[in-house]
Structure 1
Amino acid sequence: MAETSIEWTQRPGTKGVTWNPSTGCDKISAGCGLPRFPGDDTGGCYAMAMAKRLKAMGQAKYQNDGDPRTSGPGFGVTMHTDVLPQPLKWRDPRTVFVNSMSDLGHARISREFVAQVWAVMAATPQHVYQILSKRPERMARILNDECRCGSGHAPGVHFRSAMDWASTPHSPTYVPGMQPGLYHRITWPLPNVWVGTSIELDKHVDRADALRATPAAVRFISAEPLLGPLPSLDLTGIDQIIIGGESGPGSRPMDLGWVRELISMARDADTAVFVKQLGLRWAGSGKGGDWTAWPEDLRIREYPADRVAVAS
């Protein structure tokens, strides 16, 4: 666990932290970061660069290398079962960004491990968890979990059973510290879990369709880095949209017209708007995060608080 300065995790009344039960990923689209070499249209990744540094520092979680074509040193996908119990020890309410150094929707993160993560979140209703994935199709499949046993169970029943198995002491997927009988103590979807997806270009707006198919109390879209207009985006059923430009060295610029168009679309859809920053290349804003330098109509930071149930 580490405290974080990520703006959209700074919900009023809670401490913003990150929790990385898995690490590592593979870049799949332009929003994964800056191009690393001429002709690379999928980019690099801030987390990938950080993993390389952490590996050099000897950090145990970052010693597994990924495919050099899509990942890098210390950034191979790795599940850390020893990290799973961490939130069980946190008493004060926190807003938790899950997997800032990975993507829980990645194909090499097992369904059983995802169920363990969900079980921990179910057992800690005092916290709000934010899960962001560029692979929402897989998240939807796992959480809906169609019945294959022939008994006609409703979607998600087998996944919830896997969560309960993670809270059973004699289970091979048991998370130490969990109380048994989780299945009968929770509502579904979990009221304290936000599920989101990243959409940086219009060609990826179908990720919003997969997100809508995902059982979640709150659904959010991260349009960061916003690399072009999103005229085809449908915000129906989306509770929040986070908008931000790219801020690394040599970053690609964000047109403020794209931002204003998204704000207008969000107002029509009754979607909360959170403008995180305007990007490194926006004149007069430094990194793009200086709120006082922004045009007044872009100073919007809203949370879908009225749609969230959090135990006190």
Structure 2
Amino acid sequence: MGEQTAIEWTDATWNPVTGCTKVSAGCDNCYAAAFARRRLRHTYLPRRPAVETEENAEDPFAVRLWPERLGQPERWSQPRMIFVNSMSDLFHKDIPQQFVRRIFEVMLTCDRHIYQVLTKRPARAAAFWASNAEELGYAEIPAHIWLGTSIEDQRVAYRRSHLIRVPAAVRFLSCEPLLGPLDLDLDGIHWVIVGGESGPNHRSMESSWACTIREQCRRDSVPFFFKQWGGNTAKAGGRLLDGREWSEFPDVVASAASIAAVT
């Protein structure tokens, strides 16, 4: 899994871990959980969960480790943006810290790619880096590894305060699925993604919610990416906001593309 993806803000996905558990309203209609249980159960079920219990042994979306996938980024010769663990959360409590460290070692060593790590557990991300930075050999996370957190409504806006404790050159917010109006503090944030929910049980997003975030980004000179309106399918509502697509990225993308062009 991983070579291709329809996610607009990345080029590929890489899943050395699969599976997760719900932590907030944004998880209610999780696409990854539905995909795992409907289409990938026969692939996932033979692999034992990282922490096996009677309850999760037959759950395709229990957390599972796939060490054989660790070498995948090295096999991709052309630089690309890689969404790390699109089918999981790298900082889930069931993932052994040693395995998270191995994933970081791959990202740090194979640095021709940009890695996009998105978590709903930014406090655990900050704690991981604080306890492992010295062993990994970096005081700060380099610019080719982006750390982001999901903020779907104001109730979880506190995640931003945990995220900025991570000494990353690029930190981002994913406001998807956007479930209500947000008043964001963008200090220390370098990119914002906004998107509506998709799927048969999708909850609608109001245009004013997306436009308000876009204006906050403009005010604070933060790149803004509008992913989708959502609907019964991910592409149903399209990507136009006020008559145009918004596909801004942090400056490091342009820098990486320039380097790739001359190497």
Deviation of 1:249 after TM superposition, in Å, equals 1.1
Counterpart secondary structure, 1:8: coil
CA contact (8 A) 2:227 2:239 kept: no
Q: Does 2:199 correspond to 1:248?
A: yes
Q: Distance in 2 between matches of 1:90 and 1:250?
A: 36
Cα pair 1:220 1:241 within 8 Å, conserved: yes
The whole-number CA distance in structure 1 between the counterparts of 2:195 and 2:39 is: 26
8 A Cα contact 2:225 2:247, kept in partner: yes
Provide the residue aligned with 2:43 in structure 1: 59
What is residue 20 of structure 1 aligned with on the other side? 15
Q: Which amino acid aligns with 1:300?
A: W
Whole-Å Cα distance in 1 between the matches of residues 54 and 30 of structure 2? 13
Aligned to 1:230: 182
* TM-score (structure 1 length as normaliser): 0.74
**Equivalent residue for 2:165?**
213
The answer to whether 1:123 aligns with 2:109 is: yes
State the TM-score, normalized to the length of structure 2. Answer: 0.87
Q: Is the 8 A contact 1:23 1:75 kept in 2?
A: yes
What does the per-residue CA deviation read over 1:5-59, in whole Å, with 9 as the maximum and x for residues that have no partner? 10011xxxxxx11100111000111111xxxxxxxxxx24211111113444x21
Q: Is 1:100–2:86 an aligned residue pair?
A: yes
The answer on whether the counterparts of 2:120 and 2:149 sit within 8 Å (CA) in structure 1 is: yes
Distance 1:79 1:72 in 2: 16
Distance of 1:244 and 1:305 partners within structure 2: 21
1:45 alignment partner AA: C
Counterpart contact for 2:133–2:139, Cα < 8 Å: no
Contact 2:16/2:85, CA 8 A, preserved across alignment: yes
Q: CA–CA distance in 1 between the matches of 2:67 and 2:176?
A: 30
Q: Does structure 1 retain, via aligned residues, the 8 Å contact 2:205–2:229?
A: yes
Given candidates 127, 131, 141, the residue that maps to 1:141 is 127
Match of 1:31 in 2: 26
CA contact (8 A) 1:223 1:243 kept: yes
Question: Structure 1 residue 78: deviation in Å?
Answer: 1.4
Q: 1:287 aligns with which of 219, 232, 236?
A: 236
User: Residue 190 of structure 1 is aligned with which of 142, 157, 177?
Assistant: 142
Supply the RMSD in Å over aligned alpha carbons.
2.6
Runs of 5+ unmatched residues, structure 1: 10-15, 33-42, 146-157, 164-182
Residue 49 in structure 1 maps to residue 1 in structure 2: no
Contact 1:200 1:224 in 2 (8 A): yes
Q: 1:236 to 1:259 in 2, by over 3 A?
A: same
**CA deviation vs aligned residue, 1:262-301 (integer Å, no higher than 9, x gap):** 11111122111000111218xxx9612254xx532x5311
Which of 65, 69, 77 pairs up with 1:91?
A: 77
Q: Which ranges of structure 2 fall in alignment gaps of 5 or more residues?
A: none
Aligned length: 254
Q: Secondary structure at the match of 1:217?
A: strand
Decide whether the 8 Å contact of 1:218 with 1:308 is kept in 2: no
1:301 pairs, out of 240, 247, 259, with: 247
Structure 1 residue ranges (4+ consecutive) displaced by more than 6 angstroms after TM superposition:
65-72
